[in-house]
Structure 1
Amino acid sequence: MRRYRRAKIVATVGPASADPAMLKALFLAGVDTFRLNFSHGSHDDHARVHASIRALEAETGRPIGILQDLQGPKIRVGTIRDGRITVAAGQRVSFVPDGADGDADAIPLPHPEIFAAVMPGHHLLIDDGRVDLRVTGVDDQRITAEVITGGVISNRKGVNLPGTVLDLSPLTPKDRADLAFGLALGVDWVALSFVQKPGDLIEAHGLIKGQAGLVAKVEKPSALDHLDDIVRLADAVMVARGDLGVEIPHEEVPGRQKEIVRACRMAAKPVIVATQMLDSMVHAPTPTRAEASDVATAIYDGADAVMLSAESAAGDYPVDAVEMMDRIIRRTEQHKYYRAIIDASGPGEERTAPHAIASAAADLAAAIGAPVIVAFTSSGTTAARIARKRPAMQILAITPDEAVSRRLCLVWGVHAIRSEDIHTYEDMVSRATAIAVAEDFAAAPAEILVVAGIPFAQAGTTNNLRVVQIDGR
């Protein structure tokens, strides 16, 4: 069950993919981590999918990651008279905090935190930016705005506020209930939507209490302003280009994507690039050339994972979409310029001993032609540090913790195996060689690199590097 690529694939589960047979087909096609989108579906629906994935994991003998994606606070207009109004450029409209059957003079916007935070000059973007309004005045009971780009405003359409930081927790009551349910199920990752500031992650960590890894979804301009702190506090990051592409100009998204991916690589945190990667494949058996190039760009950037959303959740060709993404990744990683691009964007000089050991392992493995780097890891940190270097050979991570093996399904280049703790140097050598041979990473008389922390079974101590000869006897 080896993947002959380094970047990982995340696939969203939905009506098109929730059946156990389809989940198995998607896994065999290349999915490493499944995303459960709690914006849709009931708890019973997600519980059935979770059970099916864990049964598949037991059947195949391979760890499979499960990511719970929380909905977050959805800001929407209220109920409008006749269900919709059409506004034209230059028109003046008003928003009010409550009321029903609104019109252009009193469009319901039942979010008092907006009235407290929005300022003249800020923009309100409705229906994914199709309607753009600039605020001209505000008080506690009314926001007046000029229409910049006209269109239709209909009931319950979403509202984005790119220039406004709201005094709003990213965890709604629904999210808190969903989070408790997901943690009880045993999800491996929790994705937090609409992160605005570092404090949002502190609040989420306080609820998760280490039971799952925390993924910060970067989709607000304010998150970009605090990117370094958000990356430091998160366990992983998602470049959520859907809402991000609404709230910042389209032409800024590619550069911001590169900034986020690089920041995560420097911090040895997994990063997922998401949204519309193969969007044409929702209803077509092949992507556009631009979409194929988009996936390849994320791979050249050094992303740990790329994600399918509607393509696998509700599309007509979910397995084809995974197979296509797998082929694009593999072909990109085999391209003659890939290694030069990845090396050129490397972390540079290492300033801590654990990172230096991990970097040295990658360099030494390349120098002696080692087919694999074996990393003993109790928390996943050692494997992540080696992955930060983006070595040419695969990383075989051996961990006693089943949860860690599942979380490593998001980390670039890592093939995770669960095995009992090692206690001596001799255990380390014999276990590394036996598993490397059994998993078909190496054969006699190859030399492999083994990285571990001593004392053994202590998280965060990457301090030992050894070259081991595979004995053919």
Structure 2
Amino acid sequence: MTALEAFPDMVTNGQRRATKIVATIGNVSSDPDCLRRLINAGVNVFRLNFSHGTQEEQGARIDAIRQIETETGIPTCILADMQGPKYRVGEVADGVEVKAGDQITFDQNEAIGSATRVGLPHPEIFAAMYPGARFLMDDGKLVLVVKSLSNDSFVAEVVVGGPLKSRKGVNIPDIVLDTKPLTEKDMSDLEFALSKNVDWVALSFVQRASDMVEARTLVGKRAALMAKIEKPAALKELAAIIEASDGIMVARGDLGVELPPEDVPAWQKKIIAKCRLVGKPVVVATQMLESMITAPAPTRAEASDVAGAVFDGTDAVMLSAETAAGAYPIESVEIMARIVRAAEAHIREDDASKYAQLPVEPTVYHAVARASVALADAVDADVMVAFSTSGNTAIRIARERPDTPFIVMTPHMEVQRRLALLWGTTTAHSAFSHDFENAIAEAGDLVRKKGMASKGGHIVVVAGMPFGIAGTTNSMRVVRI
């Protein structure tokens, strides 16, 4: 047995895969048998979209995932994705269409709308609106520009027309709204998710770093906190938002509505690069294999999109409707895993494609992470074993994108689960060893028990002294098996 075969979450069909897969769970994928098949196909993280489904339904999914985790012994990460503030127009009469040059008055009247007047029940939008602001409807299918304002309404001119439908979403890319990061629904969903011990919480439509700081006061240390980057305003505070978060999601759906489509790929690369620089996990999401909602195979462009995210250095790629509501949820995961493996194989084989080495902060912890990866390469180690109570050691090692597989041993199940999102990381339970010598013995026992290294082969053990105290990683040793 190889180091990879010993830990199923590191491999798909016997081949290494470092980039993680996030799958959204919905009506077509909630039963335990389907969840097991998704895990076997390569899912590392299950996303629960609280925009859809009741708390009772989401709770049943969490319970099923945890039961499977108990059966398999493989730590499984659960990401609870909050809906966030959603803005929609009111009811509109059937069959209404508008064309370029038409003018529409928006007000807060609940009367059924027409081609010339539409209700918009969001006073915060009226308070922030100004002439010249863009006003997008129905995922950007309708484009308008605000022409004039009054006390309780505004007039916008249609630039790109089409059907005007009831309850369609609204995007205002040029305005930062004075809103709370969590709605009343989000607050209820958040407390429910935390009571069920989810591992990550994602906030939607983050506009500023203070949104994450405020959310942190509610979440505390009960879960890791992820900011979804889907507003142009967030790009202006990107560095501060990354600093205030535990992880980032490149949510290309709404981001692609509010930004010109040609700008999204460059921003994806920038966000991934900034996250990797500071060691924050990043997920690329939305429409990665969109055609597989109804088709058994992706388009070639979709395959290139997934591979491109891997080449950029993302920690994880995500499936949304493909696994939540599509006809081919298992096949979507299997194909995504194949694309990821092929992209990673190319990176390993082509020196020009390898991940760039990043500057190291002048701290012992970062220096040990960099040196341990170099040491593993120099001695051709079969595997690296890092001990961590908080998971920070894993983050520092993953930041280096090592060629050598690495295992993180921790006594905390919640740390194992959270690290399932992190590039290249697999975990194993560790006893509370009291010193480095005990840690080395425990690492050796794990390697021998799992058959993770060949006889006479090397492993590199990374730990800290005093042992078992977060933030003390300062030691490494080569051990011959």
Instruction: List per-residue Cα deviations over 1:217-260 (Å, max 9, x = no partner).
Output: 00000111111011111001000000000010000010000001
What is the rounded CA distance, in whole Å, between the counterparts of 1:460 and 1:76 in structure 2?
A: 46
Structure 2 counterpart of 1:19, from 31, 41, 49: 31
Q: Which residue of 1 aligns with 2:46?
A: 34
Q: Which residue of 1 aligns with 2:351?
A: 340
Shift of 1:140: 3.2
What is the rounded CA distance, in whole Å, between the counterparts of 2:377 and 2:150 in structure 1?
A: 64
SS of 1:25 mapped into structure 2:
helix
Instruction: List per-residue Cα deviations over 1:82-130 (Å, max 9, x = no partner).
Output: 2452111011111112322122333111111111112211111100000
TM-score (norm 2): 0.95
Shift of 1:437: 3.1
Residues 344 and 33 of structure 1: CA distance in aligned 2, closer, same or farther (over 3 Å): closer
Return 5+ residue gaps in structure 1 as ranges: none
Q: Which residue of 2 aligns with 1:411?
A: 422
Shift of 1:336: 5.4
SS of 2:61 mapped into structure 1:
helix
What is the rounded CA distance, in whole Å, between the counterparts of 1:234 and 1:338 in structure 2?
A: 34
Q: Which residue of 2 aligns with 1:270?
A: 281
Structure 2 counterpart of 1:54, from 66, 69, 76: 66
Contact kept, 8 Å, 1:8 with 1:306, in 2: the verdict is yes
Counterpart residue type for residue 444 of structure 1: K
- The CA RMSD measured in Å over matched residues stands at 1.3
Q: Which residue of 1 aligns with 2:90?
A: 78
Q: Which residue of 1 aligns with 2:112?
A: 101
SS of 1:165 mapped into structure 2:
coil
Residues 341 and 354 of structure 1: CA distance in aligned 2, closer, same or farther (over 3 Å): farther
Q: Which residue of 2 aligns with 1:444?
A: 455
Residues 53 and 335 of structure 1: CA distance in aligned 2, closer, same or farther (over 3 Å): same
Shift of 1:349: 4.2
List aligned pairs for 1:173-192, cutoff 5 A: 173-192=184-203
1:228 aligns with 2:265: no
TM-score (norm 1): 0.97
List aligned pairs for 1:364-443, cutoff 5 A: 364-443=375-454
Contact kept, 8 Å, 1:302 with 1:342, in 2: the verdict is no
Counterpart residue type for residue 310 of structure 2: I
What is the rounded CA distance, in whole Å, between the counterparts of 1:344 and 1:426 in structure 2?
A: 34
What is the rounded CA distance, in whole Å, between the counterparts of 2:55 and 2:251 in structure 1?
A: 24
Structure 2 counterpart of 1:330, from 331, 341, 354: 341
Contact kept, 8 Å, 1:66 with 1:189, in 2: the verdict is yes
What is the rounded CA distance, in whole Å, between the counterparts of 1:253 and 1:406 in structure 2?
A: 30
Q: Which residue of 2 aligns with 1:313?
A: 324
SS of 2:473 mapped into structure 1:
coil
Residues 337 and 467 of structure 1: CA distance in aligned 2, closer, same or farther (over 3 Å): closer
What is the rounded CA distance, in whole Å, between the counterparts of 1:342 and 1:380 in structure 2?
A: 28
Structure 2 counterpart of 1:160, from 168, 171, 194: 171
What is the rounded CA distance, in whole Å, between the counterparts of 1:108 and 1:67 in structure 2?
A: 35
Residues 400 and 339 of structure 1: CA distance in aligned 2, closer, same or farther (over 3 Å): farther
What is the rounded CA distance, in whole Å, between the counterparts of 1:53 and 1:234 in structure 2?
A: 25
Contact kept, 8 Å, 1:300 with 1:338, in 2: the verdict is no
Deviates more, 1:139-148 or 1:31-40: 139-148
Residues 344 and 396 of structure 1: CA distance in aligned 2, closer, same or farther (over 3 Å): closer
Residues 188 and 288 of structure 1: CA distance in aligned 2, closer, same or farther (over 3 Å): same
Counterpart residue type for residue 155 of structure 1: S
What is the rounded CA distance, in whole Å, between the counterparts of 1:419 and 1:105 in structure 2?
A: 66
What is the rounded CA distance, in whole Å, between the counterparts of 1:307 and 1:58 in structure 2?
A: 24
Q: Which residue of 2 aligns with 1:10?
A: 22
Contact kept, 8 Å, 1:387 with 1:411, in 2: the verdict is yes
Counterpart residue type for residue 397 of structure 1: V
1:467 aligns with 2:478: yes
Contact kept, 8 Å, 2:279 with 2:395, in 1: the verdict is yes
Shift of 1:351: 2.7
Structure 2 counterpart of 1:251, from 262, 267, 273: 262
SS of 1:410 mapped into structure 2:
coil
1:119 aligns with 2:130: yes
Q: Which residue of 2 aligns with 1:238?
A: 249
Contact kept, 8 Å, 1:372 with 1:449, in 2: the verdict is yes
What is the rounded CA distance, in whole Å, between the counterparts of 1:198 and 1:392 in structure 2?
A: 34
Counterpart residue type for residue 96 of structure 2: I
Instruction: List per-residue Cα deviations over 1:275-299 (Å, max 9, x = no partner).
Output: 0101111111100001001000010
Q: How many residues align?
A: 469
What is the rounded CA distance, in whole Å, between the counterparts of 1:253 and 1:346 in structure 2?
A: 25
Contact kept, 8 Å, 2:385 with 2:460, in 1: the verdict is yes
SS of 1:393 mapped into structure 2:
coil
Counterpart residue type for residue 253 of structure 1: V
Counterpart residue type for residue 467 of structure 2: F
SS of 2:51 mapped into structure 1:
coil
What is the rounded CA distance, in whole Å, between the counterparts of 2:309 and 2:54 in structure 1?
A: 32
Instruction: List per-residue Cα deviations over 1:248-274 (Å, max 9, x = no partner).
Output: 000001000000111110111110000
Give percent identity, aligned residues only.
50
Contact kept, 8 Å, 2:436 with 2:465, in 1: the verdict is no
Contact kept, 8 Å, 1:437 with 1:443, in 2: the verdict is no
Counterpart residue type for residue 395 of structure 1: F
Counterpart residue type for residue 76 of structure 1: R
SS of 2:96 mapped into structure 1:
strand
Shift of 1:66: 0.4
Contact kept, 8 Å, 1:116 with 1:140, in 2: the verdict is no
Structure 2 counterpart of 1:194, from 205, 216, 238: 205
